[in-house]
């Protein structure tokens, strides 16, 4: 996989059209662009885009890949900037930690604020699980992080930032997928993908919710990331519940 594959995919996804992406953004021929997208899908092993009556739409896998592809390009740009900075006088360092997947939401604004408030600071990005971020903060290896309110975090100060709803991810052909809303009781018979190892706070939230609703979730798999959980959903036809709450230390 090459960087141009990521750039081409992002352009098509944002334009919603192969033609517009080829002509307006990439200045290449549409057949060549289509071939590059096919090569990318073949390498990944999943369909990222699908043709619709009014253009191109992202598949579920494509939506996940888009966020991480954007992040990958931003991290590469940060790496290039860091490499160029080695030829410049040493600057104060500032390390920001993110939960995997949250960078696509918060990275741009975080960088904007830091560049306005402290333009002389050299910024380093770090992506880890919430418990790992908490450990990094307590050890002084990370200056600020978006994470969950972990237990046993002496010396850390949390500021509530955002809260996301509890949702269920289902295979396209699942019996519940056509419903606009899913009752908790409908999930009691489904297999559940846990995130207990890397997200104990998240698992506690899910367990408390299940207990409140009087249901027991049947765990068959464990996933470390949202994209990993979605891949399991697609390949094993199980449902995956997740909730995300980020706080700023």
From the number of C-beta atoms within 10 Å of its C-beta (0-12, 13-18, 19+), residue 142 rates as: buried
236 band by pLDDT with thresholds 50, 70 and 90: low
Give residue-wise pLDDT tens across range 6-58.
Answer: 888 888 888 888 888 887 778 888 888 888 888 888 888 888 888 887 778 88
CA–CA separation, 198 and 99 (whole Å): 10
d(CA 121, CA 98): 18
pTM value is 0.54
How does pLDDT run across 9-19, given as a tens digit for each residue? Answer: 888 888 888 88
Q: Which domains does the chain have, with CATH numbers?
A: 3-66 (1.10.10.10), 90-161 (3.40.190.10), 167-248 (3.40.190.10)
Q: What is the pLDDT of residue 246?
A: 38
CB-count burial class (<10 Å; 0-12, 13-18, 19+) for 11: buried
Q: What tokens were used for 229?
A: 């959980």
pLDDT value at 240 more than 60: no
**Which one has a higher pLDDT value, 195 or 16?**
16
Label residue 244 by pLDDT band (50, 70, 90): very low
Please provide the average confidence, as pLDDT, over all residues in the chain: 80
């Amino acid at each position: 996989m090459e960087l141009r594959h990521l750039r081409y995919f992002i352009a098509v996804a944002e334009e919603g059209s192969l033609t517009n992406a080829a002509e307006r953004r990439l200045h290449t021929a549409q057949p060549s662009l289509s071939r590059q997208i096919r090569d990318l899908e073949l390498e990944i092993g999943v369909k990222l885009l699908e043709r619709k009556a009014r253009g191109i739409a992202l598949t579920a896998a494509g939506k996940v890949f888009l966020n991480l592809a954007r992040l990958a390009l931003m991290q590469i740009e940060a790496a290039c900037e860091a490499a160029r900075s080695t030829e410049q006088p040493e600057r104060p360092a500032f390390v920001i930690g993110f939960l995997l997947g949250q960078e696509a939401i918060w990275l741009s604004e975080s960088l904007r604020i830091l560049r306005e408030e402290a333009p002389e600071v050299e910024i380093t990005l770090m992506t880890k699980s919430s418990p790992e971020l908490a450990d990094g903060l307590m050890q002084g290896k990370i200056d600020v992080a978006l994470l969950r309110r972990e237990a046993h975090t002496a010396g850390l100060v949390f500021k509530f930032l955002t809260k996301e709803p509890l949702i269920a991810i289902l295979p396209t052909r699942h019996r519940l997928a056509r419903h606009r809303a899913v009752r908790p009781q409908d999930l009691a018979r489904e297999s559940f993908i846990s995130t207990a190892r890397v997200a104990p706070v998240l698992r506690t939230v899910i367990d408390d919710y299940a207990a409140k609703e009087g249901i027991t979730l049947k765990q068959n798999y464990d996933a470390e990331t949202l994209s990993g959980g979605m891949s399991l959903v697609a390949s094993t036809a199980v449902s995956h519940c997740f909730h995300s709450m980020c706080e700023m230390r």
